[in-house]
Structure 1
Amino acid sequence: MLTIALEQVAFRAYHGYYPEETIIGNDFMLDITVRIPGTVVVDDLAETVNYQGLYDIAKVVMATPKPLLEEVVYEMTAVLKERYPAIQHSIVTLRKLNPPMGASIRNSLVSLAKDY
């Protein structure tokens, strides 16, 4: 298997259960890892997953506010598979930095691993 990934992609987005999160927003870090069959050398971008394409998908999904981070990662995996049918496995991890919980917390995290 060939692994293609983006790690620690920073976004300012408006996901959150509480109304103030949809107004003031939060900082997020996103990791996307995908695996495709990879038993021969890839020498053409059309034979792989373009990580610019991964970013473009992430940017669109992150721009649409959702109340739950679980919704965000599920949508992201669905769009990844639709755009890149060769994907056989994906892991999408979304961290909300400094979640508004009244305590010093580095981040909350939701991660979804899928086999297709």
Structure 2
Amino acid sequence: MLTIALEQASFYAYHGLYPEETIIGNYFMLDVAVRIPGTVPVDDLSETVNYQGIYEIAQTVMAVPRPLLEEVVYELSAALKQRYPAIQHSMVTLRKMNPPMGASIRNSLVSLEKDY
């Protein structure tokens, strides 16, 4: 298997359950890793998953506010598989930095791992 990934892609977005989160927004860190069959060497971009394409999908998904981070990772996973049918496995991890919980917490995290 061949793994293609983006790590710690930073976004400012408006995901959150509470009204103030949808107004103020927050910083998010996104990790995405996908696996495709890797039985032969790749020498053309059309034979792999373009990490620029992963980022473009992430930008589109992150731009739509959702109440739950779980919704975001499921949507991103589905959009990746739709654009790149060769994906056999994906791992999408989304961190909300400094979640508004009234405590000193670096980040909350939701992660989705899928086999196709």
TM-score where L is the length of structure 2: 1.00
Paired position in structure 2 for 1:104: 104
**Runs of 4+ residues over 3 Å off in structure 1:** none
RMSD: 0.2
Residue ranges of structure 1 left out of the alignment (5+ in a row): none
Paired position in structure 2 for 1:19: 19
**Superposition deviation, residue 99 in structure 1:** 0.1
Q: Does 1:37 align with 2:37?
A: yes
**Superposition deviation, residue 71 in structure 1:** 0.2
**Superposition deviation, residue 76 in structure 1:** 0.3
Q: Does 1:79 align with 2:83?
A: no
CA distance in 1: counterparts of 2:67 and 2:25, whole angstroms:
12
Q: Does 1:88 align with 2:85?
A: no
Q: Which amino acid aligns with 1:70?
A: E
CA distance in 1: counterparts of 2:39 and 2:104, whole angstroms:
46
1:71 alignment partner, SS class: helix
CA distance in 1: counterparts of 2:78 and 2:51, whole angstroms:
16
Task: State the number of aligned residues.
Answer: 116
CA distance in 2: counterparts of 1:70 and 1:56, whole angstroms:
19
Q: Which amino acid aligns with 1:9?
A: A
Q: Which amino acid aligns with 1:12?
A: Y
1:112 alignment partner, SS class: strand
1:22 alignment partner, SS class: helix
Paired position in structure 2 for 1:28: 28
CA distance in 1: counterparts of 2:9 and 2:75, whole angstroms:
17
TM-score where L is the length of structure 1: 1.00
Residue ranges of structure 2 left out of the alignment (5+ in a row): none
Paired position in structure 1 for 2:57: 57
Query: Identity rate of aligned residues, in percent?
Result: 81
2:86 alignment partner, SS class: coil
